[in-house]
Amino acid sequence: MKRKNCLLAALVLAVILTAGIGKAWAYFTTYAEAAGGYTIELGDRTQIREEFADWTKRVVITAEEDSKEPVYVRARAFCGNAYTLDYSDASGKWTPGGDGYYYYGDALKAGESAEELLVHIGNIPKEAKVGDSFHVAVIYESTPVRYNADGTPYADWDKVLDSVTMEGGVES
């Protein structure tokens, strides 16, 4: 009798465990793959051209031909702490900002380029020689031209591309 009860209890336990096996098995074996996407056109495209010679980096930023709207640009260079950076340009259109960036005064329309910005590297060690490893990174940004109520153009460097989260078709 005791053996019969143990066998019956084991059978009941086996039935209970196998009742949910389908869902559990589906959880562990389900495979889904997604492909595709959407291209986001923000309306402006720029590119940078950099050349380095004689401890000077020459930087030119261009609004691409297919840009849809004029843009303002700014640039900033970084290098090792042992070096100093001095900026200059022949046009006088690049001006320093309090944030370390240099701002180009004119908006660039499609196909136009900013005047060349020169970044001179200073405090060069006497033992430096041709072939030594050295990096100057230039970061640049662009922002679409905005207009005041009176039509005066300006650059809004704090403007951030917004994103909206959709949950169940409801904006949150």
CB 48 within 8 A of CB 73: no
Round to whole Å and give the CA distance between 46 and 71.
Answer: 9
CB 87 within 8 A of CB 97: no
Quote the pLDDT of residue 33: 62
pLDDT band of 125, cuts 50, 70, 90: confident
Quote the pLDDT of residue 4: 80
Round to whole Å and give the CA distance between 87 and 96.
Answer: 9
By the 10 Å C-beta count (0-12 exposed, 13-18 middle, 19+ buried), 83 is classed as middle
Structure tokens at 3: 């053996």
By the 10 Å C-beta count (0-12 exposed, 13-18 middle, 19+ buried), 73 is classed as buried
Q: Where are the alpha helices (DSSP H) in the chain?
A: 2-19, 21-29
Is the pLDDT reported for residue 112 higher than 80?
A: yes
pLDDT band of 165, cuts 50, 70, 90: very low
Summarize pLDDT for 17-47 with one digit per residue, the tens.
777 666 666 666 655 566 666 655 556 788 9
Quote the pLDDT of residue 27: 62
Q: Which of 17, 16, 35, 48 is nearest to 117 (CA)?
A: 48
- For residue 118, count other CB atoms closer than 10 A to its CB: 14
More confident residue, 40 or 9: 9
Summarize pLDDT for 32-90 with one digit per residue, the tens.
566 666 655 556 788 999 998 888 999 999 998 887 889 999 999 998 887 889 999 98
Mean pLDDT across the chain, nearest whole number?
81
Backbone torsions φ then ψ of 140, nearest 5 degrees? -135, 155
Backbone torsions φ then ψ of 16, nearest 5 degrees? -65, -45
pTM score, whole prediction: 0.66
Quote the pLDDT of residue 117: 96
Is the pLDDT reported for residue 164 higher than 60?
A: no
Quote the pLDDT of residue 163: 44
